[in-house]
Amino acid sequence: MIEPKKLLFDTEAFLATAGLGRTIVQLKAKQTFFSQGDRADSVFYLRKGQAKLTVVSMSGKEATITLLSTGDFVGEESLAAVPGLRLATASAVTPCVALRIEKEEIIRRMHEEHTFSDRFLSFLLARCMRIQSDLVDQLFNSSEKRLARILLLMAQLGETGHPESLIPKISQETLAEMIGTTRSRVSFFMNRFRKLGFIEYNGGIHVHRSLLNVVLLDRSYQGTAEKASLEI
C-alpha cells in the first residue's frame, strides 16, 4: 500500500494566521509585547511595523539592544530548556501587528517542520550578526553616524532595493533613546541631514539613499557638509 505524501509545510501561511497556540496581536506605538522580568512563555513574529528591544539596569538606565522590523522574531529566550524570565523589554516604535506563538507550539513546529526550523535558525544567525554590528556602532561611531544608521535600518535601505523609503512618524526623543544621546543633538543632526538633502520630514521621515554617505563615505560626506555650512 502506497502511503500518501505528506503535504509541504507552508511557513508563510503559518506565520500569517492564528491557530493552535497562535494569536494575532495589535499594538500601538510605545505599547509593549513583553517587559523585562515577565515570564518567558512565547515568541512573537512581527508581521507589520517596527519595534525595539531595550534593557534597564538596576540603577534605572535604559539602553536599546536592537531594532526589530517586519519579518523578525522576538522573545526567543523563551525556548531555553530552563523556564525563565524575559531578559529585555520589547516595545512598538510604530503601530505593529504580530503573531504570538506559545513556547510549546513553536518548539513542536521546529522539531517537526524542517522548513520552519531553517527559517528560524537563519533569523537567529542574522540577529547575532546584527547585534554584533550594533555593538561596534556604539563603541566606535559618533552619535551622528549612529543616527544615520538607525534611520537607514528603519527605512530598510540596502535590503529592499528601493532607492528611498518612508519611516512612519517617530519622535526625536525615541530616536535619542535608540542611539544614546540627547533630543537636542538628534534635532541638530536631523536638521543637518535635511539641509544636505539626505532626508525630508513632515510627519513621517522620507529617507534618501544618499544618507548612506554619512555611514559609508566619510570623506565625501564631510566635503558635502563643509560646502553646505559655507552656503548656510
Q: What is the pLDDT of residues 88-139, one digit of tens each?
A: 999 998 899 999 999 999 999 999 999 999 999 999 998 888 888 878 887 8
Q: What is the pLDDT of residues 53-86, one digit of tens each?
A: 989 988 888 888 788 889 999 999 898 856 688 9
Q: Which of 52-56, 140-144, 167-171, 174-178 has the weakest average pLDDT?
A: 167-171
Exposure b/e, 71-107, CB count within 10 A at least 16 = b: ebbbbeebeeeeeeebebbbbbbbebebbbbbbebbe
pTM: predicted TM-score of the whole model, two decimal places? 0.77
What are the counts of helices (DSSP H) followed by strands (DSSP E) for the chain? Answer: 8, 11
88 vs 96: CA distance, rounded Å: 18
Q: How many CB atoms lie within 10 A of CB 226?
A: 10
Domains of the chain (ranges, CATH numbers): 11-138 (2.60.120.10), 142-231 (1.10.10.10)
Q: How many CB atoms lie within 10 A of CB 26?
A: 13
